Structure 1
Amino acid sequence: MRKKICTGIAVIIIPIVCLYLLQCLLVPKYASDIKEGAMIEEYYNSEKNHDVLILGDCEVYENISPVTMWENYGISSYIRGSAEQLIWQSYYLLEDTLKYEKPQVVIVNVLAMTQRDAKSEAYNRMTLDGMKLSKYKIASIRESMTEDENMASYIFPLLRYHSRWSELSSEDFRYMWKTPSVTTNGYLMQKGVRPVTTIPKAAPLANYTFSDRNMEYLDKIYSLCKDNGINLVLMKAPSVFPHWYDEWDKQMNDYADEHGILYLNTINEAENIGIDYTTDTFDYGQHLNVEGAEKLSLYLGEQLVKKFGFTDHRQDESYKNVWQTIVNKYYEEKQGD
């Protein structure tokens, strides 16, 4: 009888273990190619004592340096950014983060307000695959899925990636259990320089009004922050393209005024910040390189301290050792090839 029970258990467990091992092997690792796909998951390995949580797309994870804010103001911050992150994805990432910590300030990048729907499964995966399984991940998947996607492939990634055999590389085996960190507290460093040479002319739009769904989720973010005693800050990163229309800016200004929150449009402050689009951008003015990100982060830290009066943690022993490791990694990457 005991032998039959053991055999029955083995018949169930062995296939499950084999399927799990296959999944670990076949899911993309994003270690050296398309690093954006690894960023959301990295948060779970960080210390959960951040003053500031930053949510959004490439306008935050390529433009803001948490190390600069730490070194100059003693602010502990983390960027939960991902490529083409949608406003409802930001909301569910905030819900997810609040299971682990409660920051003093949440910064939300407002460019996502211009996106009405998910662009593709590839972008969805970069945000959703890295989230730990929870009701918030499931809700975000449900809200984000394109027509050809299904929930099961997100819950069981093997269903999506079972055909990657021909694409496997040495990295898939090397990082089968753990992918190396690709960011510094969510910041994806860019060191190249591609200066702005021309500024594309902005075409008029038929409709400048943010969608009802986007406004609904912005309201949800505001309410969630308010209910948890968190200060919400809205931000537009500096860029020359894509164009940020005055009509969009007015809607954000009006929303901030109505709700009594801070809105920082750093496009208007680029000159005061010291951003030079001949040296501080790596992609012709869409995003900042590390030199530009450090300038923006100096300004952002100054505004946050002025508005919210953060405690400087630089002499706090509970922060110093952790942040020294983060700082060392940052400068090693900055000074490397």
Structure 2
Amino acid sequence: MKKFISIILILTISITGIFFTTKLLEPKYMTGILEGAMIGEYYDDPTDHDVVFIGDCELYENISPVYLWENYGINSYIRGSAQQLIWQSYYLAEETIKREHPDMIVFNVLSMKYNEPQNEAYNRMTIDGMKWSESKVGSIKASMMEDEHFIEYLFPILRYHSRWSDLNSDDFKYLLHRDKVSFNGYYMRVDVKEATDVPEGRPLADYQFGDNAYYYLDKLTKLCKDNDVQLVLVKAPTLYPYWYEEWDKQMVDYAKENNLTYINFLEAQDEMELDWTKDTYDGGLHLNLAGAEKLSKYFGEILSKDMQLPDRRGDKALENYWDSVEKRYNAEIKRQTTNLEKFGNVHGDTED
């Protein structure tokens, strides 16, 4: 019995030690690259969503769920991550539909340009935050680069063991918890950097999207249809990366063939009154808060009037939830605005 108890104690101590060491060494994404923390935040939202946006930075920096709630009563969430590839979007959609049943999934089509895995760091920012499920396993297998190994996703300590020399105060502060960095998946920036000298698209040898990209778009389409979820394809109204007419035609044709809605917001810039001297924080790659709220207003009208999504204001549980999000949202606007006035940047960093 004493040997048995000793073995149990040793195993418990070892497992506990591995757990805390893993948590310590994992990147926290609380400062600098905040995008790595956003996928995991979804699981803290207890509500059921009318719309779930799935895709890359052209969604999570350009749409404000807070604006959609305040003005249309639409309960939405953005399951976005940096350079989210279409197979990753598919598995996030699959997981989302298993967890809840949104009326609609909105997918941004820019990632159709990628036909193969691209980068381990971006893979990690999408996959590490997912809870373990068949969907996460599928996403790992579809995303791994040639030099990546599944076991390093299963046991992150094998991947991050060399971070000992890079540990800082954030690693200890956020050992067992994370602050919220987004607002239902929206990454806010209030600063302005006007779009000037935006490069034209260079001619491509082949404009056809790849077979693998289409394979997962077909799977996403079937997933939504089989589960009675409306799939809407969109192209965000950003100036760069360049969106080719040949790419757009493929999405127009695909939507028509599969009875889907496709909206190219680039064609509605004038209706939205986007001002590229004021509505972007990085020269046209992404919208700032002012631009995101313009896009949200335009899309909100379509969602509420044309697609008849319900106005859920009046639901006490939802109102209580959104009250807390709105308070953080307004506080972040004030914080970033104050930092801009004092330091010239939204982070509050002093100049060297």
In which range does the TM-score fall when normalised by the shorter chain?
over 0.9
| Identity across the alignment (%) | 51
Q: Deviations over 1:184-220 (max 9, x none)?
A: 0000001111101112121111111111111111111
Name the SS for the 2:52 alignment partner. strand
Which 4+ stretches in 1 moved above 3 angstroms? Answer: none
Q: Deviation per CA, 1:56-108, whole angstroms, max 9, x where unpaired?
A: 00000000000111111000000000000000000000111122211001000
Q: Secondary structure at the match of 2:43?
A: helix
Counterparts of 1:181 and 1:18 in 2: how far apart (Å)? 27
- 3-state DSSP of counterpart to 2:118: coil
In 2, Cα distance between equivalents of 1:224 and 1:119: 25
Query: Which residue of the partner structure matches residue 130 of structure 1?
Result: 129
1: distance between equivalents of 2:169 and 2:69? 36
TM-score (norm 2): 0.94
CA distance in 2, matches of 1:213, 1:240: 26
In 2: Cα distance, 1:336 partner to 1:269 partner = 31
Aligned to 1:213: 212
Structure 1 counterpart of 2:55, one-letter code: G
- Please say if residues 181 and 187 of structure 2, whose CA atoms lie closer than 8 Å, have aligned partners that are also in contact: yes
Query: Take 1:217 and 1:305, find their aligned partners in 2: how far apart are those partners?
Result: 28
Deviation readout 1:137-186 (Å, 9 max, x if unpaired):
11111110011110011111100111111111111111100111100000
- Secondary structure (helix, strand or coil) at the match of 2:266 reads coil
Q: CA deviation at 1:259?
A: 1.3
CA RMSD of aligned residues (A): 0.9
1:98 aligns to what SS in structure 2?
Answer: helix
The answer to whether structure 1 residue 68 and structure 2 residue 67 are counterparts is: yes
Please state how far the C-alpha of 1:288 moved relative to its aligned partner.
0.2
Letter in 2 for 1:162: H
Does 2:323 correspond to 1:324?
yes
Counterparts of 1:306 and 1:256 in 2: how far apart (Å)?
21
1:335 CA drift (Å): 1.6
Other-structure match for 1:333: 332
Aligned residue in 1 for 2:113: 114
Given that 1:194 and 1:278 are in contact with CA atoms closer than 8 Å, whether structure 2 keeps it comes out as yes
Could you say which residue in structure 1 is the equivalent of 2:54? 55
Report the alpha carbon displacement of residue 20 of structure 1 after superposing the two structures with TM. 0.8
Tell me, in whole angstroms, the C-alpha distance in 2 between the residues paired with 1:29 and 1:36.
Answer: 10
Q: 1:192 is matched with which residue?
A: 191
Give the conservation status (yes or no) of the 8 Å contact 1:133–1:155.
no
Are residues 1:182 and 2:167 paired?
no
Do structure 1's residue 271 and structure 2's residue 260 form an aligned pair? no
Deviation at 1:307, TM superposition (A): 2.7
Q: Does the 8 A contact of 1:48 with 1:101 survive in 2?
A: no
Q: Does the CA-based 8 Å contact 1:55-1:108 persist in structure 2?
A: yes
Q: How is 1:163-312 mapped onto 2 (pairs within 5 angstroms)? A: 163-312=162-311
